[in-house]
Structure 1
Amino acid sequence: MMAISGCGLPRSGPSKKEILSGAVENGGDAHIIFVNNHVNRTANFTPAYGFSNEFLNAGAVGADEIRPGDTLGLMIWENVDDGLLVGLGQSSTQLQQLQVDSQGYIFVPYAGRIRAAGNSPEQLRQVITSRLESQTPDPQVSVTRVAGDGATVSVMGKVFGQGVYPIERPTRTLSSMLAKAGGVNVEPEVAVVTVKRGRESGKVWLTDLYFNPSYDIALRPGDVIMVEEDQRSFTALGALGQQTKVPLGNEQINAIEAVAMVGGLQTQTGDPTGVFVLRDEPAQVASAVLGQPVGGTQRMVYVLDLTRPNGLFLARDFLVRDGDTIYVTEAPYVRWQKILGAITGSAGSINQLENIGN
């Protein structure tokens, strides 16, 4: 009974020996890695949020930029009695309901097909004037937007005011547009802001907009802004104060802090030599840790022995990442106590003894 008793005893998970037996060297599919300074240097990368140069280098958009679909109105004055567009006895003519086509152009008589999209009304006025002044002396042109919002962005997700907002002079940047939408309705520390622009997208922590001004990018027409609550987390199992899923937030958390966040090791049962971090490691990082090239994602089991002279320091320097599982095994003597308790009758019932025998 003593040889098989461990199989039927209640426990929180596999033993240290059982985990180590699953190593690649033993025919398993996981790399068992004892954490040292080399591991901490090569495995401690944090997938960074941020914007590409395309986002960072984009210039501010004019608040009154004309867009395809806008409807424009033109007023043209000519300094002659019988002009190109102005009838005899009149000084001006109006061209209303000029819709900017899908390619961004409008047609103006005697000026031809002119690109309107991307210009402000003032810039378009100058273009039309230049086209007409070679045909009529000193033309005067006025351009107004009759209908259309011009440059707009969409703001969605965890904000108080979802909607479509025009890019105006006070709202040309990401932070100012979020303020225009009423701000976020989640804790700022866990708010992630994603900006989608065409086929490109980038994301940053909300707090980075304030601490890193370069992330407060200039908005472009058609941008989609999504605010979400960060979902990154790790799972804690085994002989810990709690067995639960824990959000990471936007802070870098090391193994010591992660264990402390769930109440620490259980004093009566936790094995400080058996703290494991289970992770699916990308090939690039796994190759650096193992010191040899590997292909594809690798299952890694990092082992932290807190009883070693520098064990606590190594655990303090080991960063926990999204999706990690932290598992603490029971101390070996705990299993012997259970066995002895079952044999001496303190296990609780005959049925439990029968389970141990099975």
Structure 2
Amino acid sequence: ETRVTPLQEIQVDGTGFIFIPYAGRIRAAGNSPEALRRIITRKLEDQTPEPQVEVRRLAGNGSTVSLIGSIAAQGVYPIERPTRTLSAMISSAGGLTIEPEIAQITVIRGKHSSKIWFQDMFRNPQYDIALRGGDRILVEQDTRSYTALGATSGQSRVQFRTQTLSAIEALATVGGLRSATADPTGIFVMRDESAEVANLVLERDDITTPRRMVYVLNLTQTNGMFIARDFTIRDNDTVYVTEAPFTQWSKAISALTGTLGALGSVSTANNTLSTLSGN
């Protein structure tokens, strides 16, 4: 008499393994059903004479994806009906281990890759893509930063904590201006701009290489606070608050930027940058 011991459906775990009684943990990821059957048969031969093993794939299509980075349970996961989308797969792996506001998701498919913000998957459903076998999903923290110097309450290199950051928010993050010494008419934002941006901001057409630019914010102007609120800080920017009157810094700015002088106002420049980012 042939005795048959049917097993319940066995789920491949996050690391690509299954557990079979008396056979132990066996790697399923990367093996076909026939290859897996032979492996299980060999492991059961010490327990059962001439074991007969049948392996069938019952769920999904055998495709798997890899999740790495700031994920609660990194590993290899099968694509099944409940986990066919990017957000569902991340959820099945235990979710994020970092703040959603600073989480970036990179999906690598073959030779191509694409990066989105985690929260954009929920704001824009088209980013919650259907997964394919072999996809690799990397979850990582935003690495952008800026440097705050001068008459601020804290001088340091500061990591971005949100997708976008205004000049006002950048100053608030380091504790604001030192009330006793800071000059609110001389807040400088220094950055390297592309030739395209430099031409548009300076209303020129002869710049062909990246240029060092200094934008000057004057919080005492009627609309100065609003301009600072609307001015976007970028990765690797330097925000400098001077203790001296702005006029004393004209020579220093010229030295920093070469022949390109500082902009006396950022209102026009900010509109230009906003137009560029919208294109």
Question: TM-score interval w.r.t. the shorter chain?
Answer: 0.5 to 0.7
Equivalent residue number for residue 153 of structure 1: 65
Alignment partner, residue 305 of structure 1:
218
Query: Aligned in 2, Cα 1:68/1:268: closer, same or farther, shift over 3 Å?
Result: closer
Aligned to 2:121: 209
Structure 1 length normalisation: TM-score? 0.51
Question: CA offset at residue 243 of structure 1?
Answer: 0.5
Aligned counterparts, 1:239-258, within 5 A: 239-258=151-170
* TM-score for both structures, normalised by structure 2: 0.65
Give the drift of 1:180.
Answer: 1.4
Give secondary structure in 1 for the equivalent of 2:198. helix
Compared CA separation, residues 279 and 226, structure 1 to 2 (3 A): same
Runs of 4+ in 1 over 3 A off after TM superposition: 67-73, 143-146
Contact 2:146 2:234 in 1 (8 A): yes
Unaligned runs of 5+ in 1: 1-66, 74-95, 98-142, 336-358
CA shift in 2, pair 1:261/1:68, >3 Å = closer
Distance in 1 between the 2:165 and 2:57 partners? 53
In structure 1, how many angstroms separate the alpha carbons of the residues matched to 2:109 and 2:184? 49
Secondary structure (helix, strand or coil) at the match of 1:270 reads: coil
Q: How does 1:333-352 map to 2 (within 5 A)?
A: none
Per the alignment, residue 83 of structure 1 pairs with: none
> Could you tell me whether the CA contact under 8 Å between 1:70 and 1:149 is conserved in 2?
no
3-state DSSP class of the match of 1:175? helix
Pair 1:70-2:29 in alignment: no
State yes or no: 1:188 paired with 2:88. Answer: no
Question: What is the CA-CA distance between 1:68 and the residue it aligns to?
Answer: 9.1
The DSSP-based 3-state class of the residue aligned with 2:95 is coil
Q: Determine helix, strand or coil for the equivalent of 1:241.
A: coil
Aligned-pair distance for 1:72? 5.5
- What's 1:17 paired with? none
Distance in 1 of aligned mates of 2:81 and 2:34: 21
Return the letter of the residue paired with 1:250.
Answer: T
Query: 1:282: Cα distance to partner?
Result: 2.3
The structure with the largest strand share of the pair is 1
Quote the RMSD (CA, aligned, Å): 2.8
The equivalent of 1:227 in structure 2 is 139
Partner SS state of residue 139, structure 2: strand
Correspondence 1:284 to 2:196: yes
Post-superposition Cα deviations, 1:301-322, rounded to whole Å, max 9, x if no partner, equal: 1111222232222222211111
Q: Secondary structure at the match of 1:154?
A: strand
Given that residues 102 and 163 in structure 2 are in contact (C-alpha distance below 8 angstroms), is that contact kept between their aligned partners in structure 1?
Answer: no
Alignment match, 1:261: 173
Q: Is the 8 A contact 1:70 1:145 kept in 2?
A: no
Matched residue SS, 2:175: coil
Structure 1 or 2, whichever has the larger Rg, is 1
Question: How many residues are matched?
Answer: 200
Partner of 2:90: 178
Following superposition, the deviation at residue 182 of structure 1 comes to 1.2
Provide the C-alpha distance between the structure 1 equivalents of 2:125 and 2:99, rounded to a whole number of angstroms. 20
Alpha-carbon shift at residue 284 of structure 1 (Å) = 2.6
